[in-house]
A and B are shown apart, each in its own frame.
Chain A
Amino acid sequence: MINKKLDRKADIQILDGNHAAALGAKLSRVQVIAAYPITPQSPVTESLSEFVEGGDLHAEYIAVESEHSAMAVCTSASLVGARTFTATSSHGLAYMHEMLHWVAGTRLPVVLACVNRAIGAPWNVQNDQQDSISQRDTGWIQIYARNNQEILDSVIQAYKIAESVYVPVMVCYDGYILSHTEMPVDVPSQGDVDRFLPPYKPHAILDPANPRNYNLVTLANPRVNADGILCHGYMEIRYLLQEALQKSRETIINVGQEFGKLFARSYANMFWEDRLDDAEIVIVAMGSLAMEATVAVDMLREEGHRVGVLSLRVFRPFPKDYLIEALSKARLIVVFDKNISYGSEGATCSEIKSALYGNRINAVIRNFIVGLGGRDVKAREIADAVRKSLPSLEEGGPNIEYPEWICHM
């Protein structure tokens, strides 16, 4: 269903993931960009600089001296009322950690593209999702893309979400697998994006006409202001951030649906479903891995297994309640994680387990750690892992306590 209001039917361009992200930021009319190069994100910084220098994008491009500074620039620029963008990977994201907390605590709608890369030591520039997963508790919304179209669309939607709920949004996509792989992307016109995304209207702003002091020392308990009105303590402010993330689920879905109406690509849920209708075995994956899982499902279906894929699009807020329905028929859930919470298991596995708790879904859960540091994950290996898990389907019984690794150990 193509909306009549569309400027053009389609402008298909062959783009790699990094250019899709940069184009998403440009179409969102970002006003301040601050970024520091890191593999595999660097082309994002270069193409944005090119847009700005070439006069195609009217924005301030600040070539900062570190990622910590990149996020500090975005924070302050956002606080005077500008729409801001940055991008990074791996060590850059880790280096930003303090500022990630700060931005979320200040409730600023900054958008960051995270090109997922392994983190050292030892050095490794290839893909996994340890970097963004390690930042899951900083109060950011996290969206994961499966392909380059989703990268571009998600950046545009990210601004609408962030500016509705005043929570920063991280759009994550796999390094090299997406960032450096070209694929066709339907690029919306500026006019259509403008119709979808109005200019940023800040809720808080630094202005001499109305002097306010942001992020003062704040005690745990509420305290009265000069007019005798009781104001929030630190705990209440934290509560409100949690509440904002909880409620953002609705916003994320609404924004996705609205986007769908305008651009005929619907993002109506926080996860993607592939052949879940009759599936008793569900593969859970996030990012480009979900595409590979789809191929694995083709193979397993041919063998007669009723398998489907649930691919997580939004990791924070975790779509707990929404998942239950999709997983209600599952008897075996095989979760693939490109990250590991050392001493525990893959982060998405923990989330799935916690979502199922108390919901009478009696599925066995198996967890496989895959693809760390760019280790190739083949559809065949995903299928093998599922086959290896099949006995659990028959035996039911205890979940395996530790994750299994698809590597030579």
Chain B
Amino acid sequence: MKTNAVNLTEKEYLLPGNRTCPGCSLSLAYRHILKALEGQVIVTVPASCLTVLHGMYPVTSVDVPCVNTPFASTGASATGLVAGLKALGRKDVTVLAIAGDGGTYDIGIQALSGAAERQEDFIFVCYDNEGYMNTGNQRSGSTPLGAISGTTPMLGKQQNQKDMLAIMEAHGIPYVAAASATHPLDLYEKVRKAKTIKGTRFIHVFTPCPPGWRFSFGDTIRMGELAVQTGWIVLYEVEDGAFRLTSASESIARKGSLRPVREYLMEQGRFNNITEEQISELQERVNARWKRCLDRVTNL
């Protein structure tokens, strides 16, 4: 049965009132991820906006067991949780590692790659706000070409984003998915599916960030929708090598076409200084990825 707003787990594990900014889509994503795991989970979190969301001792905004771990160590921390639970004969708990793009693409890639190569049995969620937001918005390996950040303050970033999803797929892990916080039911279903699979499972979650990307905090959902409609992100999953488009990306592939990426870029202050050449380059990247997706898709 498809998940809808009515049959979604009612229980909340992310309690009302946390320290994220207004309009933060991380909060939204985390809420649905925890719902999907229904409390039978141990979470490990590195330094990030999520640390802030979790609150300040002795008050926390989550109702699941959690360990905060140093920035680089998320994949290893998850490995340790899995190993400890296994050593103690506990089979009923899912281990969830959840890190920002910095904690995944950059400083955390070694521990994550090592764990994926060892096929450690946990779900790794990367929530991607395309920058180091916790430290005030500096560039990361996921900051897009042309985007202004604290360390690309005038010219914008001169390099393209790292393709982390491809990197994770190349590890030969059983499940890789791309989701968006702004499409919570699709995200929820992906986490539910991941939960039933053994081995390292990687879910990339696009998380628009109003202050970092410079758009109004009431526009978070619209930003995610635009991202999907323009092909800036594609919602899909790869299960044992079989590629499926999902949710709005599947609909676009079935009927219609992508809107120009310019429409997405123009909505955000971080692209104020982007050049025409950069827009064309980004459009070409989007087109190429969309073509790759259509070439691989098995569910149309």
Contacts and interface: CB of A to CB of B under 8 A. Distances in A.
B219 interface: no
A69 B62 contact: no
Interface string B68-91: 111011011111110111111010
Contacts of B76: 34, 64, 66, 68-70, 72-73, 76
A76 B69 contact: yes
Contacts of B77: 72-73, 75-76
Q: Which of A80, A206, A218, A231 has the most CB of B within 10 A?
A: A80
B150 interface: no
B80 to A, nearest CB: 3
A79 B57 contact: no
B114 A82 contact: no
A219 B59 CA distance: 11
Interface in B28-73: 39-42, 44, 51-52, 54-60, 62-70, 72-73
A66 B114 contact: yes
B58 A64 contact: no
Nearest to B13: A211
B57 A218 contact: yes
B111 A65 contact: yes
Given A75-B69, A76-B69, A219-B56, A81 B84 contact: yes
B113 interface: yes
A31 interface: yes
A4 B52 CA distance: 58
Contact of B81 (A99, A206, A219, A231): A206
A208 B39 contact: yes
Contacts of B114: 64-66, 69
B66 A213 contact: yes
B67 A206 contact: yes
A80 B81 CA distance: 6
Contacts of A59: 87
A102 B73 CA distance: 11
B110 interface: yes
Closest 9 CB pairs of A and B: A76-B80, A65-B114, A77-B84, A69-B76, A72-B76, A80-B84, A72-B73, A73-B80, A31-B87
Given A34-B79, A215-B69, A226-B59, 5 more contacts: A62-B83, A75-B77, A76-B44, A76-B76, A211-B65
Interface of A: 31-32, 34, 59-60, 62-66, 68-70, 72-82, 84, 98-99, 102, 206-208, 210-219, 223-226, 231
21 contacts: A31-B84, A62-B83, A64-B79, A66-B111, A72-B79, A73-B76, A76-B69, A76-B76, A76-B84, A77-B83, A82-B88, A99-B70, A206-B81, A208-B64, A208-B93, A211-B39, A213-B65, A216-B68, A217-B54, A218-B56, A231-B57
